[in-house]
Amino acid sequence: MLKVAITGASGRMGRTLIEAIVASDASELGWATVSPGSSLIGVDAGEMAGQGKSGIYLADGLSSGLDQFDVVIDFTTPEATLNHLESIQGKGKTVIIGTTGFTDEQLDRLKHFAQSTPIVFAANYSVGVTLALQLLRTAARVMGEDSDIEVIEAHHRHKVDAPSGTALRMGEAVAQTLGRDLKACAVYGREGQEGPRSKETIGFATVRAGDIVGEHTVLFASEGERLEITHKASSRQTFARGAIRAALWLQDQPPGLYDMEDVIAQPKP
Ligand code: NAP
């Protein structure tokens, strides 16, 4: 049985992950953390997540529980994720990272940790979005040069980073296929006298409203036709189940940085 530590256990994804682990036959909760100074420290993690008593009490970090878990599943903030990586470095653990919004400098630090630790890092753990990345590469290959390409995403009102990590990952998959540099060709929102659209650009539009779990559409529009590839998540459970699947897969891998496409490349155990 895989023993899992959940960081940011009181967050939206943290609670959903605890629910998914309680329902899973292959994993069990071994440790759970909240922010240092949180009033929830010492509270039963299962009860906090509405899943009944678990016997695992919320801690303020990973260091004091190192013999209680094999893998860390981390959906927190970039700074917290890097602190968590630091505290388990060299301890023989594996890590699933769902946090989004890393700067380039933070990403370099994450890659450095992956030299000695097996890490799966994905902007989206849903199997549907992972498959959509493959469909997008096909669409870009066949229609990309002749199309205007736009990425439109919608999330709940609490989301802090924009565009979403998934939207950027989708844009990156398309740009790479077309031999373009996303940093150079991305256009984030438009306002005022922008002039005609330049063919080489990839546009991003962001919606933040209500309780939308996560919706992404990439459209390829040319003269006379339009292809839209859309994914809609209706429950955070899809991310939690994907993260647990990735955690099980990662146990057999050497140190390195993997993504969800590596995970779905192998049949589900
Ligand atoms: P959230 O509800 O704001 O939860 C974030 C959690 O991180 C909070 O519980 C917060 O605790 C905790 N945290 C912050 N600093 C911490 C620290 N130093 N130590 C321990 N915990 C700390 O956000 P969310 O909606 O769950 O999303 C979290 C992240 O996952 C975001 O980056 C989001 O974009 C990403 N996400 C990714 C996927 C995916 O499939 N990859 C899916 C959904 C969300 P306090 O409240 O106590 O500060």
3-state secondary structure 133-157: HHHHHHHHHHHHHHCEEEEEEEECC
In the reported structure, the alpha carbon of residue 6 is separated from the centroid of ligand 1 by a whole-number distance in angstroms of 11
124 within ligand 1 shell (Cβ under 6 A): yes
pTM: 0.92
Q: What is the structure's pLDDT at 266? A: 79
Q: What is the pLDDT along the chain (269 residues), one digit of tens a residue?
A: 999 999 999 999 999 999 999 999 999 999 999 999 999 999 999 999 999 999 999 999 999 999 999 999 999 999 999 999 999 999 999 999 999 999 999 999 999 999 999 999 999 999 999 999 999 999 999 999 999 999 999 999 999 999 999 999 999 999 999 999 999 999 999 999 999 999 999 999 999 999 999 999 999 999 999 999 999 999 999 999 999 999 999 999 999 999 999 999 977 76
Q: Is the CB of 173 under 6 A from ligand 1?
A: no
Look at ligand 1, atom 4, and give the residue with the nearest C-alpha.
11
- 159 as an active site residue: the answer is yes
The residue whose C-alpha atom lies closest to atom 46 belonging to ligand 1 is 11
Residue extent(s) of CATH 3.40.50.720 domains in the chain: 2-121+236-264
| Residue 155 among the catalytic residues | yes
Which of 76, 120, 258 to probe ligand 1 with, by most ligand atoms within 8 A of CB?
Answer: 76
* Residue limits of CATH 3.30.360.10 in the chain: 127-233
Fold of 127-233: Dihydrodipicolinate Reductase; domain 2 (3.30.360)
Which CATH number fits the domain 2-121+236-264, given the four candidates 3.20.20.140, 3.40.50.720, 1.10.630.10, 1.25.40.10?
Answer: 3.40.50.720
Q: What is the pLDDT of residue 267?
A: 72
264: β partners: none
Mutate to test the pocket of ligand 1, among 77, 164, 259 (most ligand atoms within 8 A of CB): 77
pLDDT the model gives residue 269: 65
